[in-house]
Amino acid sequence: MTEQEELYQCVGVCMSDPETGYCMGCGRPPLGGPEVNVEIALSVPELQKPAGDPDSPE
């Protein structure tokens, strides 16, 4: 449990006050912006070898 979790015990009512940003359930202050980690995987189509390629056993 982190220090912030110990200070602000959740009571199951997580709603932030639109004016202050504080949680209306436990009084937790507004959280900073989320850390965003993004991983992008691209799919690259396999290239066709030209006909008559000596490396191709056809």
- Let me know if residue 37 belongs to a domain: no
- Number of domains comprising the chain: 1
**58 pLDDT above the threshold of 60:** no
Print the domain residue range for 6.
Answer: 1-29
Average pLDDT score over residue span 43-49: 74
Give the per-residue pLDDT at 50.
64
Tokens 């850390």 found at: 35
- Let me know if residue 4 belongs to a domain: yes
CA distances from residue 8 to 26, 28, 46, 52 in whole angstroms, order as listed = 6, 6, 54, 71
Residue 6 backbone dihedrals phi, psi, to 5 degrees: -70, -40
Overall pTM > 0.85: no
**Residue 10 contacts residue 26 (beta carbons within 8 Å):** yes
Of 8, 9, 26, nearest to 17 by C-alpha is 26
Grade residue 53 by pLDDT with cuts at 50, 70 and 90: low
Structural Rg of the chain based on CA atoms:
27
pLDDT tens across 17-41, in order?
A: 889 888 888 888 887 766 667 778 8
